[in-house]
Amino acid sequence: MKIIDFHVHTFPEKIAAKAITTLKAKSKTENFTDGTIKMLVDSMESAGINYSVLQPVATKPKQVESINTNAMKINSDYKNIISFGAIHPDFENSDDELKRISEAGIKGIKIHPVYQNTNINDERYIKILRASGEFNLSVLIHAGRDIGFPGDDKALPKKIFDAIKFSPDTKIILAHMGGWRCWNEAEKLFADVENIFIDTAFSFDLSNDDFVRMIKIFGSERVIFGTDSPWASQAETVKNINLLPITEKEKGNIFYNNAEKIIF
């Protein structure tokens, strides 16, 4: 069975060690790779993963253009690594940048309200979500709590729900099964919203029963496999999905078919 890991992170080699050390200390989470593309490729081979999708985060507006230019280079240089782009709510001329990356063949963007210190229902994000749909860009949103920022509420499901209602034509993927450690709220708010998908990244705090229930409620056509590598083992996450009591067709949708429709 083919597998796309829709939610991974890497860093440029010259800063990877520092970035991993900083984030590891902040989140008190172990890393499973060194944060480089080279080790990601090794991890993919061990886990039987065919493609990984990088989800870069611009923590400052000045990073946006360089991150996106680097994403274009990655997409040109690698056959099995695909990079999304990034945008920041304080970046000026976001429409122009979204148009630029769309024309370059990038399929979507990642936004992270916690790291970008902005509530997801802020009008700047609402504008970005709407414009992304106009430029045929999907949007992956960090959803729910964040392990490194206890108590932060910038990406809670209710705020996401308030933001996305203005963008019914934008394909939106909510990371961490719709809202990390806010799963009941995510399930109630998003299960019937057709343009919302959820990814499995870093979500095995959920019991297997709850995981399967959410797959059934959303439908396997709206659940996308992701790991959040380097913060989770790709091989172990593949194993966890394979052990769930769901059908081979459902696994095929989650592991590959749903992501394929977004990135190819």
Domains, the chain, ordered by start: 4-263 (3.20.20.140)
Which pLDDT belongs to residue 204?
87
What is the C-alpha separation between 82 and 72, in angstroms, rounded?
9
Give alpha helix (H) positions in 4-156: 13-27, 37-47, 64-77, 94-103, 123-134
Q: Which residues of the chain have pLDDT under 50?
A: none
Which pLDDT belongs to residue 155?
98
Which pLDDT belongs to residue 33?
97
Continuous segment of H or E residues that includes residue 240: helix 234-243
How many helices (H) and strands (E) would you count in the chain? 11, 9
Q: How far is CA 238 from CA 10, 58, 74, in A?
A: 19, 28, 24
Closest CA to 217 of 252, 246, 260: 246
Q: How far is CA 55 from CA 66, 109, 159, 201, in A?
A: 14, 7, 21, 12
Q: What does the buried/exposed string (b/e) look like for 161-184 if buried means 16 or more CB atoms within 10 Å of the residue's CB?
A: bebbeebeebbbbbbbbbbbbbbe
What is the C-alpha separation between 25 and 85, in angstroms, rounded?
26
What is the C-alpha separation between 264 and 255, in angstroms, rounded?
15
Which pLDDT belongs to residue 2?
98
Asked whether the beta carbons of 43 and 234 are under 8 A apart, the reply is yes
Closest CA to 8 of 238, 214, 251: 238
